[in-house]
Amino acid sequence: MTPFHKTLSIWFQQNRRDLPWRHNNNPYLVWISEIILQQTRVEQGLPWYLRFIERFPDIKTLAEASEEDVLLVWQGLGYYTRARNLHKAARQIMLQFNGEFPGFFDQIRNLKGVGDYTASAIASISFGLPHAVLDGNVFRVLARIFGVFTPIDTTQGKKEFARLADSLLDKKNPGAYNEALMDFGALQCKPLNPICSECPFESQCYALKNHQIEYLPVKSKKTAQRNRYFNYLLIRYNEQFYLQKRKEDDIWKNLYQLPLIETELDLKETEVLSSSRFKEILKNSTPVIECISPGIIHQLSHQKLFIRFINIRLDQPVSLNEYSLVPVGQLFSFPFPKPLNEYLLKELNKTI
C-alpha cells in the first residue's frame, strides 16, 4: 500500500457512504447506479435508483419492458438518453451474453451508453479489474492534491489525468479505491467549501499550500448556453387533451408533450396567439383562451427554457395529424418532461 492509498483508505473506513448498490456489488445494480449518478448527485438520484430497481429488478425484466415504461420510471430525472440507452443495453445483454452481465472491460465498454467512466466503475467495483475511474470528483481531487493545471476538458488534460489516475490506482482493491476517491471528492474535497481544515491530505495538498483551491481544476471553456422559448398549448376538448410524442433528436426525445410553439425570440403572449403556427395547430376551430400561465424557467445543462402554458378550450375537436386526443384519466400513464408533468398535475387537480 502506498502512503496515498493508506491515507485514502483510512478516510474511507471512517466516511464510506452506505449506498444500496454497495451491499453486494451486483454488476446490474452497480451499472444502474452509475448511469443514474452520471449527471446527478447521490442524494438526488437515490429515490430514482430505488424505484428503478424495484420496477426492473434484473436485466431480463428491463429488457422485456417497453421503452415507455422505462421512461415513465425515469421521469423527472432528466438526461433521458441515459434511460433509452439502459433499455437498449439490457436487450443487447440478452442477445449477446444470454442475459448474463459481461465481465470483461471491453465487453462492458461496448454496451450502449457505457463510456470509459462507467465501464471502469463497473469493471473495478463488480469484477475487481484494475481500471481507474475519472469523473468530476476524481478530476477535482487529483488536480488539487497534485497541482495539475492542465484543463480537464481538453484531450491533453484527459490524457494527463488518466495517466495520473492509472499510476495511483490500488490494483489490489480497485473497486474500493475508486469508490473511496469518489466519496472523498463528494464529501470532503467538495467543489465549493471543501473541508481542508480536517483533511487527511492537508500537509501534502498542492492547492491548499499554494492557495489554489478555488482555481482547481481548470476548465478551458465556458459552455455556451442556448435560450429557447416554449409555448405549450393545453388544449382541452370534452375532458380530453392533445398529446404528441417528441420525435426529434433533441432534448426529451420519446417523451410526451402538448402541442408546442417554439420560438427563437421571446414573443409576447399576443404574438404567440396571432402566429401562423398557432393558427396551423388550431385550424379553423374557435378556441377559447382560458388562461396563460406565468413564465417558468427550466434550466438544463446547456439550455435555458422559458416555458409558458396556454390553456385552451374547444367546443369541437380539431383533427391534428401528429397529436392524439387522450382522456384525462389516462394522461399520467405517459412519460412527460418534468416541467410539463408538474404543470399538468397542478392544473388538472385544480379543475377536475
The count of residues in the chain is 352
C-alpha cell at 34: 452509475
| Binds ligand ADE (CB under 6 A): choice among 8, 72, 73, 186 | 186
> Quick one: 201 or 230, whose CB is closer to ligand ADE?
201
Identity of residue 278: F
- Alpha-carbon separation of residue 182 from 143, 152, 159 (angstroms): 14, 16, 19
> Binders of ligand ADE: how many residues, by CB under 6 A?
8
Report DSSP letters for 236-252, one per residue.
Answer: EETTEEEEEE--SSSTT
Site string for ligand ADE, 4-43 (x = CB under 6 A): ------------------------------x--x----x-
Name the one range near ligand ADE by CB under 6 A: 100-108, 175-183, 230-238, 266-274.
175-183
Query: Does residue 170 bind ligand ADE (CB under 6 A)?
Result: no
Site string for ligand ADE, 119-158 (x = CB under 6 A): --x-------------------------------------
CA 287 to chain centre: 38
Look-up of cell digits 444502474: 32
Identity of residue 94: M
> Quick one: 121 or 255, whose CB is closer to ligand ADE?
121
Q: Which helix (H) or strand (E) holds 288?
A: strand 288-292
> Residue 264 has what DSSP assignment?
S
Query: Does residue 179 bind ligand ADE (CB under 6 A)?
Result: yes
> Quick one: 89 or 186, whose CB is closer to ligand ADE?
186
> Quick one: 118 or 341, whose CB is closer to ligand ADE?
118
C-alpha cell at 345: 398535475
Q: C-alpha angle 33/34/35, rounded to 5°?
A: 95
Our answer to whether residue 179 is catalytic in this structure is no
Q: Which residues are registered as beta bridge partners of 234?
A: 311
Query: Does residue 182 bind ligand ADE (CB under 6 A)?
Result: yes
> Quick one: 126 or 231, whose CB is closer to ligand ADE?
126
- Site residues (CB under 6 A) for ligand ADE? 34, 37, 42, 121, 179, 182-183, 186
Residues marked active site are found at 34
